[in-house]
Amino acid sequence: MTTTAPATARKPATMAQALTRALRDAMADDPSVHVMGEDVGTLGGVFRVTDGLAKEFGEDRCTDTALAEAGILGTAVGMAMYGLRPVVEMQFDAFAYPAFEQLISHVARMRNRTRGALTMPLTIRIPYGGGIGGVEHHSDSSEAYYLATPGLQVVTPATVEDAYGLLRAAIASDDPVVFLEPKRLYWSKADWSPDAPTEVAPLGRARIRRRGSSATLITYGPSLPVCMEAAEAAGAEGWDLEVVDLRSLMPFDDETVCASVRRTGRAVVVHESNGFGGPGGEIAARITERCFHHLEAPVLRVAGFDIPYPPPMLERHHLPGVDRILDTVARLQWESDWTEGRGE
Amino acid sequence: MTVLEQPGSSRNKSSLAGPPPAWQPRVDPTPLLPDAEPYRLLGTDAAARLDSGLLTRLYTELVRGRRYNAQATALTRQGRLAVYPSSTGQEACEVAAALALEDRDWLFPSYRDTLAAVARGLDPVQALTLLRGDWHNGYDPQEHRIAPLCTPLATQLPHAVGLAHAARLKGDEVVALAMVGDGGTSEGDFHEALNFAALWQAPVVFLVQNNGFAISVPLAKQTAAPSLAHKAVGYGMPGRLVDGNDAPAMHEVLTEAVARARRGGGPTLIEAVTYRIEAHTNADDATRYRSDAEVETWQAHDPIALLERELAARDLLTDAFVGATRDGAEQLAADLRERMNADPEVDPMDLFTHVFAEQTSQLRAQAAQLRAELDAESAGHTEDAAGTDGSAEEARP
């Protein structure tokens, strides 16, 4: 559904700027869109994503709330019940935890509970992930918690263009979206025209970011640039890697993922959050169930270690990097030989 | 030496300067404080000014409410309801909540407040859907302006604040009435809801039914506050303490708070002092945590009996009126009994219908799986039926 407008000036823009633009355009298009959260008004958010919105749309539309995540989300539920489209900011991944009861007991199931009579057109923006040198509780990757809750859509952009398009789509959705913003990509830049995505793309479509033939890297959010770099580096070792950016973890695009894995015969899932109980396990299981006869090797995972998020001076050892991805890709070959009885 | 014993730790004795002079208390707390005693009308001189029409209306609703509670409890014994948290003894709170609101207002009930929803005009069978278990909610909240009965404690309170705030932003004079129990006041969502409501001056009325126990835990183990109504002061809203078994007093206090909210006066916290005559639910054994003597004290303060005294003093408690009221209540119970004794129709495919606006491919696949299982099941039933058929018997060798 995404269309490209006639050539408009493409200038360098950061992901944070694209997000701001998405909020601004959504608020301008639809008076029921309200932005709320701690520091989103006068300050423009600690990452400046809501910069200028209070000034442009007034404090009733972009509201600095009291410091209370359950209260922010709980009142947003009531606002949505009265026909508004709240966009809530949780400031940092781990700060969202006090709001979990509202999210899980009400936001995720209000449509189901009321047989569609009450819907929750809510977007919950959560900056997430590490790599910015944050101290404890400022770098968690919480996506598995959200994925484990039926009724929530879980979306995460990895590019400047997607930051705009996916946030517009999330706000337009009649169901709640946990919108995970990879905070280490906030300042990533791209030549981008804000006018380009004139239509809102549907949620739940993965995108192939790099075509390849010998294995598929499946990733999302902050790990996409890492995977792209790994794919380039792998060429020197004779690997032609395909990279799939999920963009949306729920709905999950089985079709694109499985079509890619059937072509390449090998798959590695890459994400920052811990591997045990993380999204990679579910993705690997889905691929195995649907593509087993096409697989030349087991589906492998490159994930953060199964530890509480480490302090900033150690996080580079925890986060999946290019070398760890390449080492894992190399194992695909070994595993393949082993599977065929040639590895002994 | 503790921190408190350290020299200079007491503000009065400190030689250090206090806060800069710019500091001012934000609100004078005195007008926000509740009265020392719960507000009462019945049995006081002030009862004389009460309107007879209101009294008979309240009486009718109380009697209907009690009969409804008894019938719903009976339905649990017959297995027709999975559980029922009775509000017997608290009917005045429920009825006042319903009658204080206008049609355009919203009610946010807790799981014990089925009766408030019914008194507001909701179909009694629809009100019991959650407790019967055929779905989580049996009515359209938008149509009735009644939020789904809320099972998690106090989590509906911020919803009420948000809805009332949104209504005011849209220029609608809508008030939200949020109901919670004494136990629910200990939850974080209670605090956050009251704080937001006061900050936004949202048109919300919080009604705490202090019925003495959170399942088995008494109020003394729930809060150290002088009363639950006193909690209002800390948020900057007025707290009102009222006798929850005095139906006209409840009606008056709630109506005033609703009117105040509607004209932009902000939220109110009302504590209704009442008592849960029945156990927490039919699954609870109340004899383990309270005495018969205590229950009897409260039975002597029964909301229906209290109101009957006033009606009798006015010669309104005629045989004809009492009989007609009872007949009406019996009719309600008979209708409820009859309709609840029919097995509800449940469609298993509904499991997938209302998860998302647009079905995901995963849910489509699971729906197809269940459809196939249901088809196989019904085909199996057809075979079974054929197997017990006489002609089939004869066909065997």
Mutation target among A114, A255, A286 for the B interface, most CBs of B within 10 A: A114
Question: pLDDT tens across B56-102, in order?
Answer: 999 999 999 999 999 999 999 999 999 999 999 999 999 999 999 99
pLDDT of residue A344: 42
For the record, the structure tokens of A342 come out as 């040639």
Rounded to 10 degrees, the C-alpha dihedral A186/A192/A195/A200 comes to: -60
Q: Which residues of A are catalytic?
A: 138
Shortest Cα–Cα distance, A72 to chain B (Å): 8
How many helices and strands, by DSSP H and E, does chain B display?
16, 7
- Single residue among A137, A169, A192 that ends a domain in this structure: A192
- Single residue among A165, A192, A219 that ends a domain in this structure: A192
Q: Do A254 and A222 share a structural domain?
A: yes
A203 close to A251: Cβ distance less than 8 angstroms: yes
Looking at chain A from residue 204 to 263, which residues have their Cβ under 8 Å from any Cβ of chain B? 204, 250-252, 254-255
**How many domains are there within chain A?**
2
Q: Do A134 and A34 share a structural domain?
A: yes
**Can you give the CATH number for the domain in which A295 is found?**
3.40.50.920
Whether A199 is in a domain gets the answer no
Cβ atoms within 10 Å, residue B202: 26
Whether A7 is in a domain gets the answer no
Shortest Cα–Cα distance, A144 to chain B (Å): 17
Its pTM stands at: 0.92
Q: Do A177 and A112 share a structural domain?
A: yes
Q: Do A300 and A245 share a structural domain?
A: yes
Residue type, B85: P
Q: Which of A195-209, B250-264, B332-346 has the lowest mean pLDDT?
A: A195-209
Q: Do A255 and A166 share a structural domain?
A: no
Who has greater pLDDT, B176 or B3?
Answer: B176
Report the distance separating Cα B386 and Cα B268, nearest Å: 67
Q: Do A114 and A53 share a structural domain?
A: yes
Mark yes or no for CB contact A74/B158 under 8 Å.
Answer: yes
Mark yes or no for CB contact A115/B147 under 8 Å.
Answer: no
Whether A171 is in a domain gets the answer yes
With residue B170 as reference, give the H or E element that holds it.
Answer: none
Domains and CATH numbers, chain B: 31-341 (3.40.50.970)
Q: Do A73 and A24 share a structural domain?
A: yes
Q: Do A262 and A217 share a structural domain?
A: yes
Q: Do A211 and A185 share a structural domain?
A: no
- Structural domain for A249, as ranges: 207-331
Alpha-carbon torsion B133, B135, B137, B139, what sign? negative
Whether A33 is in a domain gets the answer yes
A303 close to A272: Cβ distance less than 8 angstroms: yes
Mark yes or no for CB contact B354/A112 under 8 Å.
Answer: yes
pLDDT of residue B396: 38
Task: Name which of A83, A36, A42, A44 is nearest A62 in CA terms.
Answer: A36
Our CA angle for B388, B394, B397, nearest 5°, is: 110
Reply yes or no on whether the pLDDT at A202 is more than 90: no
Q: Do A239 and A128 share a structural domain?
A: no
The 3-state secondary structure of B276-335, one letter per residue: CCCCCCCCCCHHHCCCHHHHHHHHCCCHHHHHHHHHHHCCCCCHHHHHHHHHHHHHHHHH
**Can you give the CATH number for the domain in which A106 is found?**
3.40.50.970
Question: pLDDT tens across B344-380, in order?
Answer: 999 999 999 999 999 999 999 999 999 999 999 999 8
Mark yes or no for CB contact A115/B137 under 8 Å.
Answer: yes
Report the distance separating Cα B235 and Cα B99, nearest Å: 27
- Single residue among A138, A164, A192 that ends a domain in this structure: A192
DSSP E strands: which ranges in chain A?
Answer: 11-14, 33-37, 62-64, 85-89, 123-128, 153-155, 177-182, 189-192, 207-210, 215-219, 241-245, 248-250, 267-274, 300-304
